[in-house]
Amino acid sequence: MNLHTEGYARYADPEFKKSFKVANLFVAKNMRKKMDYSRIDYLPCFLSEIPKLMRSGSRHINIALLHLSPPDSHGFCTLGTSVDVAHAAADVADIIVAQIKPRMPRIHGDGFLHISKVHHYVEVDDPIPEVPLHVLTAEERAIGKYAAALVEDGATLQMGIGSIPDAVMEALAGHRHLGIHTEMWSDGVLKLIKAGAVDNSRKAVHPGKTVSGFLMGTKELYEYVHDNPSVVQLDIGYVNDPAVIKRNPRVTAINSAVEIDLTGQVCADSIGHNI
C-alpha cells in the first residue's frame, strides 16, 4: 500500500469536513434499495454533462475513488474499463484514492494517469466483475432481426446493454463495414468485430477505432481490449457530444425503452415518480 502522508491534515480540518458531500452519479440496481430517498436531491443531467459540472466547479470533487491498471515502465496507469466521467474526476479531485488491479486491462485513449498523481492506493488482485451475454428468447431474437434489418452497411452504431441490444448485435453478423462510437459496449460488439462485421473503416471520427466511454462484459472482452490500439476509451463529454456524433456516417442508435405511449414518445429513465 502507498502511504503518502500528503493530505492527511486536510482530513482533520473541520472546514474540509463541512464541505464534504457524497455524490452518486448513477443509481444501479445493487444500490436502489439502500438509498435514503427522503434526503436525496436529484439533479437531472445528461451523462455527457457531468464532466463539465466537475471541471466548472459546479460539483466540486473532494475525493475520487478510481480503479486503475498497474503502472507501465513509465509510471502510467490507465482507468481501464471505465473512463467516462472518471477522467474528469481525476483531473479536478483534491485527493485521488486508487485500487490498482493487475487484472484491469490497460486501455488506450484518455484514461492514462501517472502514478505520481495518485495520493493513496492499494493493490488488490481480484477478478473484474463480469456481465455475461443474455440467453435470448425467441421473441427477443425476432425483435433483433427486425431492428437489424433497419441498419445499413457502413453505419456507425451506438448501443446500450441488455437482451434487445444483444439480440440486434447477433442479427448484424452478416453486415459489413460497421463502426462503433458509443457510450458503452459489451461482448455482443466483440462478436461482430471477430465476425468481420465491425471494422470501423467508414467512420469519419477515429476511423479504424472502436470508440466508447466505458465497457462491461466477460473475461474474453477484457482480454481483447488489453493494450489493443484499435480500442480507445475517451472522456464521455466528448464521446456523447452530438457535434462529434453527427460527423460519423449513418449513425444508428439501438436502445431499450422503459415505456412507450400511444403517440410514440419513449421514456427511458423513470416510471412515474420512480427514477
Whole-structure pTM value? 0.87
Cβ count within 10 A of residue 104: 22
Which burial class, exposed, middle or buried, applies to 62 when counting CB atoms under 10 A from its CB (0-12, 13-18, 19+)?
middle
Q: Which of 130, 139, 183, 259 is catalytic?
A: 183
Active site residue 15: no
Q: Are strands 112-114 and 231-233 parallel, antiparallel or unpaired?
A: unpaired
Tens-digit pLDDT profile for the chain (275 aa)?
443 434 445 555 666 555 556 666 777 777 778 777 777 777 778 899 999 999 999 888 999 999 999 999 999 999 999 999 999 999 999 999 999 999 999 999 999 999 999 999 999 999 999 988 889 999 999 999 999 999 999 999 999 888 888 999 999 999 999 999 999 999 999 999 999 999 999 999 999 999 999 999 999 999 999 999 999 999 999 999 999 999 999 999 988 888 899 999 998 878 887 76
